């Protein structure tokens, strides 16, 4: 039968896994770091996954596809709940459980390090667009996890900068519009993005790039990537 069903552009997909998490029917899984529609009969054509995609990789198409099979979807959900489903490799690679052992040679921390945070709030969604601290600011836009992964985050990145943090995977939003408004409305001197190496952080970097392109200004910027074991990768 011919019906409406999703299509995923593999070139646009950044592997964040947000669509797989949003698909309650289990039609989408992550394969080799990319989202894939695994079964046509699991896709109900309602598109809960569309608004979660930060890169616009998911669209609707009309094509020949198996009819949506609600019974099969419910059976699959039940099987997963009792833990008998075969591993599918689905989900965001950034959510994979890991045990990280701090390096034995790491120096002992000082009794207490001073905070370098110079403003509040820090969440992108909560920050007012025209706050006075944005005037002439060096702006830091960081993924939530970076401050936990990188031990010297305050000294290396927050010091001397206005800090905004967020996670598009958890917030379920595209920050591009808010960031565009901030960049357009204020005299931002430069911008540093600090993200984790995991694919889902690509949504934050994508939002910053979109904001820089839309704000109508030339603002120097850089991206720094932190590994899950706390190293600067670039």
Q: What does pTM read for this prediction? A: 0.60
**Residuewise pLDDT in 10s, the chain (234 residues):** 899 999 999 999 998 888 988 888 889 988 888 999 999 999 988 888 888 888 999 999 999 999 999 888 888 777 766 544 444 445 555 555 554 555 544 455 556 788 999 999 999 999 999 999 999 999 999 999 999 999 999 999 999 999 999 998 788 778 999 999 999 999 999 999 999 998 878 889 999 999 999 999 999 999 999 999 999 997
The domain 132-226 is classified under which CATH number: 2.60.40, 1.20.1070, 3.40.1360, 1.10.287? 3.40.1360
Q: Do domains 2-93 and 132-226 have the same CATH topology?
A: no
- Report the alpha-carbon distance of residue 118 to residue 122 in Å, rounded: 10
Q: At what angle do helices 202-214 and 176-185 cross, to 10 degrees?
A: 40
> Do 133 and 167 form a contact (C-beta atoms < 8 A)?
no
CATH of domain 2-93: 3.30.70.20
The domain spans of the chain are 2-93, 132-226
């Amino acid at each position: 039968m011919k019906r409406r069903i999703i299509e995923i552009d593999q070139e646009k997909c950044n592997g964040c896994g947000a669509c797989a998490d949003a698909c309650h029917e289990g039609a989408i899984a992550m394969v080799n770091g990319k989202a894939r529609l695994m079964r046509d009969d699991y896709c109900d054509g309602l598109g809960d996954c569309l608004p979660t995609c930060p890169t616009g990789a998911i669209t609707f198409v009309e094509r020949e596809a198996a009819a949506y099979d609600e019974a099969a979807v419910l059976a699959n959900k039940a099987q997963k709940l009792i833990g008998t489903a075969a591993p599918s490799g689905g989900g965001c690679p950034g959510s994979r459980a890991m045990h990280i052992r701090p390096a034995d040679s790491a120096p002992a921390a000082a009794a207490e390090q001073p905070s370098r945070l110079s403003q509040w709030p820090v969440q992108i969604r909560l920050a007012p667009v025209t706050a006075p601290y944005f005037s002439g600011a060096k702006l830091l836009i960081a993924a939530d996890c970076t401050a936990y992964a990188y031990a010297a985050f305050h000294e290396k990145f927050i010091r001397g900068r206005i800090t905004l943090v967020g996670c598009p995977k958890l917030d379920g939003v595209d920050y591009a519009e808010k960031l565009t408004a901030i960049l357009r409305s204020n005299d931002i001197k430069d911008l540093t993005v600090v993200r984790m190496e995991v694919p889902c952080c690509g949504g934050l970097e994508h939002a910053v790039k979109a904001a820089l392109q839309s704000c109508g200004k030339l603002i120097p910027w850089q991206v720094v990537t932190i590994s899950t074991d706390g190293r600067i990768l670039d």
